[in-house]
Amino acid sequence: MFKKTFKGGVHPDDGKRYAKDASYRAYLPQGELVFPMSQHIGKPAKPLVKKGDTVLAGQLIGEADGFVSANIVSSCSGTVKAVENRRTASGAKVMSVVIENDGQYTLAEGIGVERDYKMLGKEEILGSIQKAGIVGMGGAGFPVHVKLAPKNADEIRYIIANGAECEPYITCDDQLMRTKSMELAEGMRILLKLFPAAEGVFLIEENKPEAIAAMEKACAGDEKLKVHAAKCKYPQGGERSIIQVIAGIDLKLGMLPADAGCVVDNVATIYAIYQAVCKSIPLMERGFTVSGDVVKEPCNLIVKIGTNMAEVLETAGGIRDGKEAEKYLSGGPMMGMALADLNVPICKNNNALTVLGEDPVAKAEQQETACLRCGRCTRVCPLGLSPQEMMDAAKRRRFVRYEKKLYGLECIACGSCTYVCPAKRPLMQTFKQTKAEIMAKKRAAQAQQGGAKK
Amino acid sequence: MSKLMNVSSSPHVRSKLTTRHVMCDVILALLPATVMGVYHFGFSALVTILVSIAAAVLTEFLFDKATGKENTITDCSAIVTGLLLALCLPNGVPLYIPILGSLFAILFTKCCFGGLGHNFMNPALSGRCFLLISFASVMSTYTVDGVSSATPLADLAAGNSVSLMQTFLGLNNGVIGCSAAGLLLGGIYLLIVGGITWEIPVSVLVSFTAFIALFGGHGFDVQYLLLQLAGGGIVMGAFFMATDPVTCPLASGGQLIYGVALGILAAVFRVFGTSADSVSYAIIICNMFVPLIDEISIPKPFGYRKRKEGGKKIPTAAIALCVITLVAGVALSGVYKMTEGKIAEQQLAAKAASYQEVCPDAVEFTYDDALTAKVDALNGEVYGTDFGKAYINEVIVGKDASGNVTGYVISASSGDGMEGEITMSVGMAADGTVTGISFTVLNETAGLGSLVGEDAFKSQFDGVKADKFTLFKSGGASAPGEINGVSGATISSSAVVNAVNAAVDFFENDIQQGGN
């Protein structure tokens, strides 16, 4: 019924061997925790506390500003040390609440109260999810309560739990599915309550047989729950790839998953939903992988949101003796963000710290040659774009051709073309820049038109 | 505070594949054919290959130095060009041939257009075509162990039987890289490692075979088709030349269009063309169309393709292409079949007319078994020692209405023409007087050599009885038996005189004396 995979894609070394079988262990942070008010797509939250306030774990410290925004709760108890701009993994300085952790983790009132979701109405479920400040935990950080309220709720056919984890090195979702399969199945049932016409599908790449087995066991007996083992290929976990595989529909720019009758959520998000609805626990902690070829003890942690990245590297034993780190990545090597230093907090949508002993990008820069037109980029593009032509158009600044003829704005920046290019050309990087430039021009033109009308 | 790390935009990993790997894969894929070539042709082939590679690399190195560019020879692409060119050369060519060829390929086709990735046609093939045009005779002399002989395709065209297995393995005559087996092995390797995609080789080979089957004149004769595939450059072209990434279309659809066009063009040249080389020119011509093909075959991305509801996606482009090819093929073959009989009739009539022209008294032409046997005894080898590369093809006896012999028509050829073979019918009266000559194959340079076909030249032989005709410079002849050459076309004139003399000689020795 479902397809095995999508067209295109690449097979980078998945690096899962480092942390694949490391069971979750909870890590309790020391010292200060930093809570950026923008850990999601949309408007930043408004800080509700000021310097000197005492806070409890689970207490709301940032309130969503508008519908497309998300609450921020404290993950520890302690004293507010500062409300100031702090650097995040993206490199930007963001207004953050800094809390001096008292190490007690005293819970705020009402946290941890068990509830039966079957007794709750749709509004109550959505309300708890919104209150818990849950955002897409796979990377994008889109507020989940928005995603769960599409205009065409009746037409949703598939709720897809994204357990593909196609990004190399990262294994925290794998561990989550292995150890919390029952909770994930329950989480999916909660979502199915919101979308009665839909069925729930767990999409897992074939390189995680234990996770597949665990989820199949958890879903057994429930006709509305399915596990789909997809071929192991990057970017299998991309939203468009998933929808193509499950629903057989090709999304294009401007279309939402809901337009294809799908809602796609990361498995970590589904677990957070379960926690929020059934246990009244807001989003305070998450699974987190520390891995890489030079990490001493690669591990999967349950970390408090706001924990410093340098601390988690330390708890993973630091760098292996005699080795040196060349690159820190928040996330995995395909789409992760390179960190200049580790003094940044873990946000809701950060799932891993990957430390590499050598920087393939620096090496690639030395190996760059002219394009051979070998066509490998065209063959691997999961969207069927023509990166070679796009690069040419971008370099010549032929933006109309880039957008209209080559559909260049469709690029999802998965990086497959850059990965595979034998000439080591910075394809995807150029496309990102070009897209930003074209969008900026469009906004400027729009603003001008708006001004003229007045 | 620890040191700051490198930052860069994702992705932070790269495949191990580099430009050099891509090139080395091609070199590796060419090794089986290279080894077969050296094994079969010997040390001289190895020398040609090494000289060609060295010339290619050196040219690129010097160009980079001279223009102050970054040294690009480490990407190994020049080695590929040099090797490919050498594999497309006949064995035993003088060493200036690979040197000039590589120089042209690298300097003019590649470097002058911006180096790797910017050449508008396949460099190795451009080098080969340059050599074919500039050094036609050297490039069409195929020698094995110092003996020159025909290539399997030339043999096949002449109607001789050719061993398929020998041709496939590359143990016949041909270019150094003529081992279809070796090339196929390399091609499959490239397909497996992803150096090339299936679209081009498959579409080239299929369309080429289909066209030969329809119009090659041998129908679906499997042996003949396989020989056409194994001999000549179509395997080399399909797997190594047409697939040169720089000069082939990017997208799958475009590659199919390109491959089909290329296969058909190569087949057209091979079936109907006069040049021995079909594939090289077909590829070069198709290279020119690649930007256009690329432009019309930009793939529609995800979400913009039309999908049939419920049904499976049908590769419409491929089907349309097949249908068009099929329709065109059927139409062409229909026309060919309809006109086939007429053409044969006309050819026969033309032959008869030419006999009539040189032997005007006869009304009926027949073969004489004894004479035919004598011609056969010549084995198609060069006739005599005084006439250059002259051949006697056949002898026809002309008779009048009452059956008396009125004369003979001797078909003679000379291989010394400016543009290949010249074939003529020489009419002889029973007493040895030449009654006329008429050309059946004459491809000499228009306006110069072609003038031997004019009456002003031809008629000098008419009604003359001589043991041997002598060629003089234009205006130098005075007596019968002395021939004024065509001004500026000494080679063509001399070829004709030699062929006529061969015919006269054959007449005197084998018809007059043998006959009486």
Asked whether residue B26 falls in the same domain as residue B140, the answer is: yes
CB of B111 within 8 Å of a chain A CB? The answer is no
Asked whether residue A252 falls in the same domain as residue A143, the answer is: yes
| Average pLDDT rounded to a whole number, residues B343-349 | 69
CB contacts, 8 Å: B304 with chain A: 250, 252, 407
Which DSSP letter does residue B507 get? I
pLDDT at B1 over 70: no
Torsion of CA B189, B193, B196, B199, to 10 degrees: 90
Is A172 annotated for ligand binding?
no
Asked whether residue A263 falls in the same domain as residue A166, the answer is: yes
- Per-residue pLDDT band for B510 (boundaries 50, 70, 90) equals confident
The beta-carbon neighbor of A326 closest among B5, B11, B15 is: B5
CB of B194 within 8 Å of a chain A CB? The answer is yes
- Per-residue pLDDT band for B317 (boundaries 50, 70, 90) equals low
Each residue's pLDDT tens digit, B443-469: 787 778 888 888 888 888 888 888 888
* 3-state SS assignment for residue A338: strand
Alpha-carbon gap: A407 to the closest alpha carbon of chain B (Å) = 7
Asked whether residue B198 falls in the same domain as residue B277, the answer is: yes
CB contacts, 8 Å: A367 with chain B: 18-19
- Disruptive mutation site among A5, A326, A356, A369 for chain B (greatest number of B CBs within 10 Å): A369
Q: Is residue A183 part of a domain?
A: yes
Per the model's pLDDT, the better-predicted residue between A411 and B310 turns out to be A411
Predicted confidence at residue B223, as pLDDT, reads 85
Which contiguous run of DSSP H or E holds residue B391? Answer: strand B390-399
Q: Is residue A406 part of a domain?
A: yes
Asked whether residue A145 falls in the same domain as residue A247, the answer is: yes
Question: What are the residues facing A265 on neighbouring strands?
Answer: A161
Q: Is residue A22 part of a domain?
A: no
Is A299 annotated for ligand binding?
no
Residue that has been written with the tokens 């040189």 in this structure: B358
CB contacts, 8 Å: B19 with chain A: 367, 369, 372, 422-424
Is A411 annotated for ligand binding?
yes
Alpha-carbon gap: B104 to the closest alpha carbon of chain A (Å) = 20
CB of B251 within 8 Å of a chain A CB? The answer is yes
Q: Give yes or no for a contact between B445 and B476, defined as CB atoms under 8 angstroms apart.
A: no
| Average pLDDT rounded to a whole number, residues B180-201 | 93
Predicted confidence at residue B516, as pLDDT, reads 43
| Average pLDDT rounded to a whole number, residues B259-276 | 84
Indicate the burial class of A99 (C-beta count within 10 angstroms; 0-12, 13-18, 19 or more): buried
Q: What is the token pair recorded at B82? A: 């040099």
Q: Give yes or no for a contact between B422 and B486, defined as CB atoms under 8 angstroms apart.
A: no
pLDDT at B192 over 90: yes
Measured distance CA(A70)–CA(B416) in Å, rounded? 91
SS (H, E, C) B11-54: CCCCCCCCHHHHHHHHHHHHHHHHHHHHHHHCHHHHHHHHHHHH
Asked whether residue B107 falls in the same domain as residue B228, the answer is: yes
Q: What is the token pair recorded at B37? A: 């070539």
Give the CA count within 13 Å in the CB-facing half-sphere of B333.
16
Q: Where do runs of H (alpha helix) occur along B231-310?
A: 234-236, 252-272, 279-296
pLDDT at A363 over 90: no
Alpha-carbon gap: A181 to the closest alpha carbon of chain B (Å) = 31
Which DSSP letter does residue B460 get? G
Average pLDDT across chain B, whole number: 85
Asked whether residue B405 falls in the same domain as residue B509, the answer is: yes
Q: Is residue B449 part of a domain?
A: yes
- Per-residue pLDDT band for A77 (boundaries 50, 70, 90) equals very high
Q: What is the token pair recorded at A80? A: 């507010």
Enumerate residues 6+ apart whose C-beta is below 8 A from B402: none
Each residue's pLDDT tens digit, B487-501: 878 888 888 888 999
Asked whether residue A167 falls in the same domain as residue A269, the answer is: yes
Asked whether residue B288 falls in the same domain as residue B407, the answer is: no
Q: Where do runs of H (alpha helix) occur along A171-256?
A: 172-179, 181-194, 209-219, 239-247
* 3-state SS assignment for residue A400: helix
Please tell me the pTM assigned to this model.
Answer: 0.77
Asked whether residue A143 falls in the same domain as residue A251, the answer is: yes
Total count of domains within chain B: 2
- Residue after which a domain boundary falls, among B272, B298, B324: B298
* 3-state SS assignment for residue B504: helix
Asked whether residue B382 falls in the same domain as residue B462, the answer is: yes
Q: Give yes or no for a contact between A356 and B277, defined as CB atoms under 8 angstroms apart.
A: no
Residue that has been written with the tokens 């080979």 in this structure: B205
pLDDT at A110 over 80: yes
Minimal-distance CA residue of chain A relative to B70? A369
Measured distance CA(B247)–CA(B290) in Å, rounded? 7
Predicted confidence at residue B330, as pLDDT, reads 64
Per the model's pLDDT, the better-predicted residue between B247 and B172 turns out to be B247
Going by C-alpha positions, the residue among B121, B117, B119 that lies closest to residue B19 is B117
- Structural domain that includes position A248: 121-279
| Average pLDDT rounded to a whole number, residues A212-217 | 95
Residue that has been written with the tokens 């650097």 in this structure: A87
pLDDT at A207 over 70: yes
C-alpha triplet A178, A181, A187: angle, nearest 5°: 145
Strand order in the sheet with A72-73: A46-47, A60-63, A72-73
Burial A347-374 (b: 16+ CB within 10 A, else e): bbbbbbbbbbeebbbeebeeeebbbbbb
Measured distance CA(A279)–CA(A37) in Å, rounded? 24
- Domain of A183: which CATH number? 3.40.50.11540
Indicate the burial class of B324 (C-beta count within 10 angstroms; 0-12, 13-18, 19 or more): exposed
Each residue's pLDDT tens digit, A399-433: 999 999 999 999 999 999 999 999 999 999 999 99
Q: Where do runs of H (alpha helix) occur along A248-374?
A: 267-279, 309-315, 360-367
Per the model's pLDDT, the better-predicted residue between B232 and B59 turns out to be B59
Q: What is the token pair recorded at A25? A: 């262990």
Q: Is residue B185 part of a domain?
A: yes
Q: What is the token pair recorded at B510? A: 């084998």
Q: Is residue B338 part of a domain?
A: no
* 3-state SS assignment for residue A259: helix
Q: Give yes or no for a contact between A177 and A208, defined as CB atoms under 8 angstroms apart.
A: yes
Q: Is residue A194 part of a domain?
A: yes
With an 8 Å Cβ cutoff, are B294 and A389 in contact?
yes
Measured distance CA(B476)–CA(B460) in Å, rounded? 13
Measured distance CA(A259)–CA(A251) in Å, rounded? 8
Asked whether residue B137 falls in the same domain as residue B268, the answer is: yes
pLDDT at B260 over 60: yes
- Residue after which a domain boundary falls, among B276, B298, B320: B298
With an 8 Å Cβ cutoff, are B7 and A339 in contact?
yes
Q: Give yes or no for a contact between A43 and A90, defined as CB atoms under 8 angstroms apart.
A: no
Total count of domains within chain A: 2
Going by C-alpha positions, the residue among A350, A313, A348 that lies closest to residue A328 is A313
Please state, in angstroms and as integers, the Cα–Cα distance from residue B494 to each residue in A140, B415, B458, B486, following that order. 85, 11, 13, 9
Going by C-alpha positions, the residue among A199, A196, A201 that lies closest to residue A153 is A196
Q: Is residue A382 part of a domain?
A: yes
pLDDT at B309 over 60: no
Rg, Å, chain A Cα set: 22
With an 8 Å Cβ cutoff, are B10 and A426 in contact?
no
Measured distance CA(A389)–CA(B241) in Å, rounded? 22
Each residue's pLDDT tens digit, B350-369: 777 778 888 888 888 888 88
Residue that has been written with the tokens 């349309």 in this structure: B320
What type of residue sits at position A243? I
pLDDT at B475 over 80: no
Q: Is residue A128 part of a domain?
A: yes
Q: Is residue A107 part of a domain?
A: no
Q: Is residue B443 part of a domain?
A: yes
- Residue after which a domain boundary falls, among A279, A309, A324: A279
Question: What are the residues facing B407 on neighbouring strands?
Answer: B398, B429
Asked whether residue B285 falls in the same domain as residue B423, the answer is: no
- Domain of B234: which CATH number? 1.10.3430
Each residue's pLDDT tens digit, A271-320: 999 999 999 999 999 999 999 999 999 999 999 999 999 999 999 999 99
Q: Is residue B389 part of a domain?
A: yes
CB of B302 within 8 Å of a chain A CB? The answer is yes
Strand order in the sheet with A32-36: A32-36, A93-101, A78-87, A54-55
- Residue after which a domain boundary falls, among A255, A279, A303: A279
Asked whether residue A258 falls in the same domain as residue A377, the answer is: no
Torsion of CA B247, B248, B249, B252, to 10 degrees: -160
Going by C-alpha positions, the residue among B225, B175, B149, B131 that lies closest to residue B30 is B175
Q: Is residue B251 part of a domain?
A: yes
Asked whether residue B274 falls in the same domain as residue B184, the answer is: yes
Measured distance CA(A367)–CA(B21) in Å, rounded? 11
Going by C-alpha positions, the residue among A235, A257, A236 that lies closest to residue A247 is A257
Asked whether residue B48 falls in the same domain as residue B125, the answer is: yes
- Residue after which a domain boundary falls, among B260, B283, B298: B298
- Structural domain that includes position B506: 359-515
Strand A93-101 to strand A78-87: parallel, antiparallel, or no bridges (unpaired)? antiparallel
